Amino acid sequence: EVQLVQSGAEVKKPGESLKISCKGSGYSFTSYWIGWVRQMPGKGLEWMGIIYPGDSDTRYSPSFQGQVTISADKSISTAYLQWSSLKASDTAMYYCARNHDAFDIWGQGTMVTVSS
Amino acid sequence: EIVLTQSPGTLSLSPGERATLSCRASQSVSSSYLAWYQQKPGQAPRLLIYGASSRATGIPDRFSGSGSGTDFTLTISRLEPEDFAVYYCQQYGSTFGPGTKVDIK
């Protein structure tokens, strides 16, 4: 079964760092782009960026460039989304998704809560 | 950057009725790169339509997509109870529309 499994919910304080993960299985992880999507509480979907695990080629939305870092470790079929200094406004659900004819497979989401 | 606009914001319909959702782009979008997703509360989005008109695996044929250039449409021919949800369009590798909520009248 093709699936993406994301790491669990996180509760952090403003200024802390965080790295969440997305592990692919059931397919050739290095052959498909993986994207990250933010959904703030009660709001719509926002495309953050995308990475090709085969060579780590990465593209960011202008809205998220410099705010987050997307990476991947192809040896363990895992993509990452990280922050160096979280803000309260980073509170959201974050989804990873495989890009093949659009985002065809989605992770279950990781809820990140940033609160003092 | 292309901006996607969806209308209406909310569509109130009864089961069995036909739903027509619109997605309009600020610039021409290649039809090969327009997708539609469904999201239910507490769930991840699910791909319905890719390439503007191709149904994703396992998607019932009551869902259909059409359009080209700057105007795209998702049609649900007869609403089933499980179809009441939020629908998003997306240009591949880029922005999503703001969504259309289909709720029960």
Tell me the pLDDT tens digit for each residue of A38-53. 999 999 999 999 999 9
Element of type H or E holding B55: strand B54-55
B37 contacts in chain A (CB < 8 Å): 45, 102-103
pLDDT value at residue A1: 96
User: Is residue A95 scored above 90 in pLDDT?
Assistant: yes
Q: What is the pLDDT of residues A3-38, one digit of tens each?
A: 999 999 999 999 999 999 999 999 999 999 999 999
Q: Hey, what are A11's tokens? A: 């509760």
* Beta-carbon separation of B50 and A50 below 8 A: no
Q: Between residues 63 and 82 of chain A, which touch chain B (CB distance below 8 Å)?
A: none
DSSP secondary structure of A49-105: EEEETTTTEEEE-TTTBTTBEEEEEGGGTEEEEEESS--GGG-EEEEEEEESSSEEE
The parts of chain B modelled with pLDDT lower than 70 are: none
| Residue A85: band (very low, low, confident or very high) from pLDDT cuts 50, 70, 90 | very high
Percent of chain A with pLDDT over 90: 98
The pLDDT of residue A101 is: 78
Spatial CA neighbour of B36 closest among B1, B73, B9, B68: B73
What integer pLDDT is reported at residue A98 of this predicted model?
97
User: CB contact, 8 Å: A28 with chain B?
Assistant: no
Give the DSSP H/E element, type plus range, for residue B86.
Answer: strand B86-91
Q: Hey, of B30, B36, B37, which one would you mutate to test binding to chain A, going by the most A CBs within 10 A of its CB?
A: B37
CB contact under 8 A, B46 and A106: yes
Q: Find the helix or strand (DSSP H, E) in which A37 lies.
A: strand A33-39
